Amino acid sequence: MPRSQLELLVLYQDIHLMLQEAEEEKIQFGFSVDGIDELKQAQEELAKNIDDRFLRTYERLKTRYRRAIAPVKNNICLGCFAKLPTSYSTKHHNEQMIFTCEHCGRMLYWIE
Ligand SMILES: [Zn+2]
């Protein structure tokens, strides 16, 4: 079953953060970490399946936040803890849509 754009973006962010951490360790400890090439490869593979406009939004948000995609719980954005409007209710969702927080602009995924 193909994954939704949102699922792919969450995976993309996960790999991106792992790469960031590996880079930071390299700077901090002066040695490189195994698996960076594999991570980069996985990131590229994922990017091929993500819509360009979502990737652009993601990259733009990454310049402001460590995590460009934030989870939502009880209708609260866990990126900035703002309450989301009721129009963001999961019943309005579909596979190809991505919601962003009105307050912090992060892309949102629902964990409930
Ligand atoms: Zn927010």
> So where are the chain's domains?
5-110
Say how many Å lie between the CA of residue 21 and the centre of ligand 1: 23
The owner of tokens 């360790």 is: 25
Confidence (pLDDT) at 81: 97
Q: Report the CATH fold assignment for 5-110.
A: Helix Hairpins (1.10.287)
Say how many Å lie between the CA of residue 72 and the centre of ligand 1: 9
Say how many Å lie between the CA of residue 100 and the centre of ligand 1: 8
Say how many Å lie between the CA of residue 104 and the centre of ligand 1: 4
Q: Which of 60, 61, 55, 67 is nearest to 20 (CA)?
A: 67
Confidence (pLDDT) at 112: 66
Say how many Å lie between the CA of residue 82 and the centre of ligand 1: 6
Confidence (pLDDT) at 2: 65
Distance separating alpha carbons of residues 105 and 102, to the nearest angstrom = 6
Question: How do the pLDDT tens digits run along the chain, 112 residues long?
Answer: 568 899 999 999 999 999 999 989 888 888 777 788 999 999 999 999 999 999 999 999 999 999 999 999 999 999 999 999 988 877 777 767 789 999 999 999 988 6
